[in-house]
């Protein structure tokens, strides 16, 4: 039977990988983390959870940005993070940058996120905190434009009266970057995505 010290020393590298994968971005930035070990040539990419401590991580670089990804594989990524797909309408499996909108299974009506993939690798979500209403309004091989419903502080969740804000996310072969300001998630803001 292996000794306790031997078991712990075997688990330590895996624990460090899991800690590195739990990193997160800022409140209004795409979230992702990547880890590469000297013996593994493929980058492992996992999004940050909504409540994690911040760590620094290298930009995500998928091993094959032109790889196809099935809708079922993307849906499994959402499922493991507690989200259900909002539909298949926006899924483009042969694009380099792909997006799948999801809604939290927690029952919170304000919990939608955009999940981004490059090739066959999940690279993160549009923001750390979910939004109340997101739609895909445009997409190309290297960009996706999302429309966020905007709420005034007194608005009911199903009636945003502040219009919409469009944010284009662009993939530059190493990172996903918003090209426009992302609306605040604070319900106290004059206009928020909640």
CA 61 to chain CA mean position, Å: 15
Strands 83-85 and 134-139: unpaired
Out of 62-76, 85-99, 130-144, which region has the weakest mean confidence (pLDDT)?
62-76
CA 115 to chain CA mean position, Å: 4
Per-residue pLDDT, 125: 97
Per-residue pLDDT, 66: 79
3-state secondary structure of 125: strand
Angle 126-130-21 (CA atoms, 0-180°, nearest 5)? 60
> Cα separation of 20 and 39, whole Å?
17
Range picked from 12-16, 66-70, 90-94 for highest mean pLDDT: 90-94
> Cα separation of 27 and 128, whole Å?
5
Angle 45-49-54 (CA atoms, 0-180°, nearest 5)? 85
- Give 13's strand partners: none
> Cα separation of 24 and 26, whole Å?
7
pLDDT at 165 over 80: yes
pLDDT class for 60, splitting at 50, 70, 90?
A: low
**Average pLDDT for 106-122:** 90
Decide: 27 and 129 in contact? Cβ < 8 Å. Answer: yes
Closest to 162 measured CA to CA, from 192, 122, 117 = 192
């Amino acid at each position: 039977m292996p000794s306790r010290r031997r078991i712990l020393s075997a688990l330590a590298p895996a624990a460090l990988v899991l800690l590195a994968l739990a990193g997160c971005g800022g409140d209004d930035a795409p979230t992702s983390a990547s880890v590469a070990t000297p013996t593994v040539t493929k980058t492992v990419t996992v999004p940050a959870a909504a409540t994690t401590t911040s760590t620094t991580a290298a930009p995500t670089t998928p091993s094959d940005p032109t790889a196809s990804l099935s809708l079922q594989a993307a849906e499994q990524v959402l499922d493991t993070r507690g989200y259900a797909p909002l539909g298949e309408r926006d899924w483009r499996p042969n694009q380099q940058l792909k997006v799948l909108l999801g809604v939290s299974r927690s029952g919170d009506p304000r919990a939608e996120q955009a999940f981004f993939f490059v090739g066959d690798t999940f690279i993160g979500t549009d923001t750390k905190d979910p939004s109340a209403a997101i739609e895909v309004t445009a997409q190309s091989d290297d960009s996706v434009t999302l429309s966020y419903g905007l709420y005034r502080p007194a608005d009911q969740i199903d009636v945003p009266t502040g219009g919409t804000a469009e944010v284009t996310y662009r993939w530059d072969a190493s990172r996903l970057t918003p090209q426009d300001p992302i609306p605040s998630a604070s319900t106290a803001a004059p206009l928020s995505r909640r």
